[in-house]
Amino acid sequence: MKIRGDQLSSTLAKQSAPLYWLAGDEILLLREAADEVRRYWREAGFTEREVFHVEQGFDWSDFLYQLDAMSLFAERKLLELRLYTAKLDAKGREAITTWLDKAPDDYRVLITGPRIDSSVLSAKWFKNLDDKLVMVQIWPIDRARLPAWLRQRLAAAGIQPDDDALQILTDRVEGNLLAAEQEIEKLALLGSVKLGAEPGANKRMTGNDVLRLVSDSSRYDLGKLADAALRGDAERAQRVLGGLRAEGAFPLLILAVLARELRQLLTILDQIDQGHEIGQAMSAARIWQSRKPIVSQALKRLTADKAQQMLEHCKLIDHSVKGLHRANPWDELSLLVLRLTQR
């Protein structure tokens, strides 16, 4: 059974297929679809999860072993296969076919990977599995649909854009939904800080508002802080952070920029862990050519685990700014910047 990404929620509610296969090249949409599937099955009782990174030379017997193994910690288990290529080798095709032939009730499988071309979809082995799996094809958001997609995202963030604001955002983020997500997060944050909107309250936003708020963020040299941290230049990064504090920059603005960089690094590191080359992973993440040398330096120092730990640190800083934690947000920002510059 093949469906579109926008049919996923309704299909999950009525189709308890043992395997969902998510295929697409738009990282943000693929990630969100995978999160939805995981959440659905977790709520259905599949609380244990095991992830397999299917790279060149992957031993499929490790996956098939689960057919005969009993879960030690939970009655139901989710097995996740992360593919680095859309074309499976003979062993991979055989393993998935074998698993679906048995498909134990206490297991579910989630496959995520690149977009699948028509040659795979029309292959005999794949057609034979059509009634046993749900294939979710994740298509990019084209220019014509992008304004509606942005309006929906902005509304979820409590922002009601006028036509000018929507046009500016569309022009800036076309072809890069990860950038769109980051811009919306920034506008939601800046809207509550600079325009006086209470968190969670809807805020009208004009094109001039967007331009002014983006201008505000650049005035504080937030980009210089991020670049220095990614380069591993601890002294300069701390000096820029001190300058931002002296200028009266709001800590959450700084945190938003650093968290954005960390999320992007984590996305790239996950791609590298799946077998992609660094250059390929950066291109998939829409890293500008001029920034690739800087990002490369950070990737050489960091691991996915370290990036995830620093994102957890970001949550602590967020709570400290909001008075939910006793830590000093400026001290914690300084520590976060230092961690980002170190091996």
107-133 pLDDT per residue, tens? 899 999 888 888 888 888 888 888 889
Q: Give the least confident one: 7-11, 44-48, 122-126, 177-181.
A: 177-181
So what's the pLDDT on residue 196? 52
pTM over 0.85: no
Residues 126, 154, single domain; the answer is: no
The CA distance from 340 to 343, in Å, is 8
Expressed as residue numbers, the domain containing 289 is: 146-341
- Beta strands of the chain (E only): which ranges? 2-4, 19-24, 48-54, 77-83, 107-113, 133-138, 159-161, 203-205
Structure confidence by residue, pLDDT tens digits, 212-232: 775 454 455 788 899 999 999
Residue 55 predicted with pLDDT over 80: yes
Residues 246, 150, single domain; the answer is: yes
Q: Is the dihedral of CA 97, 99, 105, 111 positive or negative?
A: negative
So what's the pLDDT on residue 239? 87
For the chain, the average pLDDT equals 85
Q: Domain count for the chain, please give it.
A: 2
Residues 182, 298, single domain; the answer is: yes
Confidence of residue 234 (pLDDT cuts 50, 70, 90): very high
234 neighbors 341 (Cβ within 8 angstroms): yes
CA dihedral 157, 158, 164, 167 (to 10 degrees): 20
Tell me how far apart the terminal alpha carbons of the chain are, to the nearest angstrom: 46
> Which of 109, 138, 167 corresponds to the end of one domain?
138
Residues 90, 187, single domain; the answer is: no
Residues 95, 179, single domain; the answer is: no
Residues 128, 273, single domain; the answer is: no
Q: Strand 19-24 to strand 107-113: parallel, antiparallel, or no bridges (unpaired)?
A: parallel
So what's the pLDDT on residue 183? 81
Residue 273's domain is classified under what CATH number?
Answer: 1.20.272.10
